Amino acid sequence: MIQGLIGRGGYGQIYYGSDATFPEDVVIKIEPIVRNGRTGKRMLLEQKILYRLQGRPHVPIMCASGHTEHLNFIVMQLLGPNIGDLKKRSPARRLGPTTVARIMIQGIAALRDVHSLGYIHRDVKPANMCFGITQNTRHVLKLVDYGMVRRYKNPDGTRRKARHRPGFRGTLRYSSARVHDGKEQVPSDDFVSMAYSGAELLLVNLPWKLVCVEDIKQAKLDFHAPNSPFLLLTGPYFSVFCGAIFSLRSDDEPDHSSLQALLSEMTGGKSLREAYDWEENYREACGSEDY
């Protein structure tokens, strides 16, 4: 039963409501089958990917999906505010380092689930990361929005041949330099987006936020330099983590566990299930001058 409108996304409407077969509140995403004279396929892809990912801890539970005569729809568990919105609520306009480290560790686990099936997400960003709202899920990160996912491996495990002009997919602020160059996206590009997301949570803004579009790629490459003042501001642990990601080649299969391990010291000994910054009135973010 639909109870109200949450908002309008890039390809349809998002409502909240209830489902008699599911114990939690749900989100209902709706996409017109025909939009502006074109057949909508994005939600069909998301339905397929979510179905394959069910049972993974960092993927939203999908309660139902299908279509009517005019609409495609997905019903899934209702989640809390996205990480970008939680950051905006902080008086310091950022999140504390132990919180960011644990978000990244869980985000890497989510990417592992996607990559292990031979897919890449292509739109990793704070707005696509949420925590659950129940006692059991409020400390479990969920990666959302699978409408831009693409298969990068063939069924036999080999890499698909890169297209000559794949077209841009993603969000420019978080896209890798390779994407600026029009290259086919690979797992390492998801990780670059994850690194940029974490840096934004720590720094308030990314250094290219106000840069004109033509100069964004160079600003990103400047950020990659080991002596970049902005990168150093993220702190010793996170800058090493970023360095490992920025050194990945396009044909590399990232070692998810090793990248998680680089952030272990940054957690300050806090477990993934301990309170996050927004649960403690952003005390860590407001009290942290150095990382």
Domain assignments of the chain as residue spans, ordered by start: 8-17+24-77, 83-287
| Cα separation, 43 vs 107, whole angstroms | 22
Q: Looking at residue 159, what DSSP letter applies?
A: B
Residue 10, pLDDT above cutoff 70 = no
The residues, ordered by sequence, that sit 6+ positions from 270 with a Cβ below 8 Å of its Cβ are: 98, 102
Confidence band (pLDDT; 50, 70, 90) for 6? confident
In order, the DSSP letters of 50-87 are: HHHHTT-TTSPPEEEEEE-SSEEEEEEE----BHHHHH
pTM of the entire predicted model: 0.93
* 2 strand-pairing partners: 17
CATH H-level superfamily of 8-17+24-77: Phosphorylase Kinase; domain 1 (3.30.200.20)
Average pLDDT over residues 21-30: 90
Average pLDDT over residues 196-202: 98
Q: How big is the CA angle at 26 (ends 276 and 117), to the nearest 5 degrees?
A: 75
Query: Taking phi first (over 0 means left), then psi (-120 to 50 degrees means alpha), and beta for anything else, what does residue 115 get?
Result: alpha
Q: Which residues are annotated as a binding site for ATP?
A: 29
Q: What is the pLDDT of residue 3?
A: 83
Domain 83-287 in CATH 1.10.510.10? The answer is yes
Higher pLDDT: 81 or 20? It is 81
Residue 78, pLDDT above cutoff 80 = yes
Residue 235, pLDDT above cutoff 90 = yes
Q: Tell me whether residue 181 is one of the annotated catalytic residues.
A: no
What's the chain's average pLDDT? 93
| Cα separation, 176 vs 220, whole angstroms | 8
Residue 291, pLDDT above cutoff 60 = no
**CB of 120 within 8 A of CB of 221?**
no
| Cα separation, 184 vs 190, whole angstroms | 12
Confidence band (pLDDT; 50, 70, 90) for 34? confident
Q: Which amino acid is at 151?
A: R
Q: What is the pLDDT of residue 20?
A: 85
Q: Looking at residue 145, what DSSP letter applies?
A: -
Q: What is the pLDDT of residues 110-140, one digit of tens each?
A: 999 999 999 999 999 999 999 999 999 999 9
Q: Which of 123, 145, 189, 190 is catalytic?
A: 123
Q: What is the pLDDT of residue 289?
A: 55
Other beta carbons less than 10 A from residue 190's beta carbon: 29
Q: What is the pLDDT of residue 117?
A: 93
Higher pLDDT: 7 or 200? It is 200
Q: What is the pLDDT of residues 156-183, one digit of tens each?
A: 999 999 998 898 999 999 999 999 999 9
Looking at the chain, the whole-number percentage of residues with pLDDT higher than 90 is: 81
Average pLDDT over residues 229-258: 96
Q: What is the pLDDT of residues 202-233, one digit of tens each?
A: 999 999 998 999 999 999 999 999 999 999 99
Name which of 29, 34, 22, 21 is nearest 5 in CA terms: 29
Higher pLDDT: 21 or 288? It is 21
| Cα separation, 194 vs 131, whole angstroms | 16
Looking at the chain, the whole-number percentage of residues with pLDDT higher than 70 is: 96
